[in-house]
Amino acid sequence: MASQFNPHQPHPMMARAEALANAGRAEEAMLLIRQLAAQGQPDALFVLARNLWSGGAIASDPVAARVQFDLAAKAGHGPARILSTNLLASGIAGPRDWPAAIARMAGEVAIDPRRKLQIELLKKMALTASGDPEVCRKPERLAEAPDAVRYPGFATAAECAYLLDVGGKNYRPAQINDGRGGTRLDPIRNSDEFTIQWLLEDPVVHAINRRIAAVAQSDADCGEALQLLRYRPGQQYRSHFDFNPQLDNQRVLTALIYLNHDYKGGETNFVKTSLKFKARKGDLLLFRNTLPDGAVDPASEHCGMPVVNGTKYIASRWIRERRFVP
Confidence grade of residue 104 (pLDDT, cut at 50, 70, 90): very high
Residue 211 lies in a domain: yes
Provide the pLDDT confidence category of residue 4 given band limits of 50, 70 and 90. Answer: very low
Q: Which of 107, 124, 151 is the last residue of a domain?
A: 107
End-to-end CA distance of the chain: 28
Q: How many domains does the chain have?
A: 2
With CA atoms as reference, report the closest residue to 121 among 95, 147, 155: 155
Q: How confident is the model at residue 47 (pLDDT cuts 50, 70, 90)?
A: very high
Whether residue 293 sits in one domain with residue 176: yes
Q: Are residues 144 and 253 in the same domain?
A: yes
> How many helices (H) and strands (E) would you count in the chain?
9, 16
pLDDT of residue 2: 35
Residue 314: give the domain boundaries.
Answer: 140-320
- Mean pLDDT of all residues belonging to the chain: 95
Residue 6 pLDDT greater than 50, yes or no:
no
The answer to whether residue 315 sits within a structural domain is: yes
Strand 183-185 to 237-240 pairing: unpaired
Each residue's pLDDT tens digit, 170-224: 999 998 887 787 888 888 999 999 999 999 999 999 999 999 999 999 999 999 9
Q: Does residue 295 share a domain with residue 160?
A: yes
The pTM for the full model equals 0.93
Which of the residue ranges 18-32, 125-139, 141-155 would you say has the lowest mean pLDDT?
Answer: 18-32
**Cβ neighbours of residue 305 closer than 8 Å, sequence gap 6 or more:** 236, 265, 266, 267, 268, 269, 276
**Domain check: are 163 and 288 in the same one?**
yes
Q: Are residues 193 and 237 in the same domain?
A: yes
Q: Are residues 168 and 316 in the same domain?
A: yes
**56 SS3 class:** coil
Length of the chain: 326
List the CATH number of the domain containing 157: 2.60.120.620
Give the pLDDT score at 176: 83
**Could you tell me if residue 133 is inside a domain?**
no
- Say if residue 167 is in the same domain as residue 303: yes
Whether the pLDDT of residue 12 is over 90: the answer is no
Q: Residue 9: is its pLDDT beyond 80?
A: no
234 and 93, same structural domain?
Answer: no
Q: Is residue 130 part of a domain?
A: no
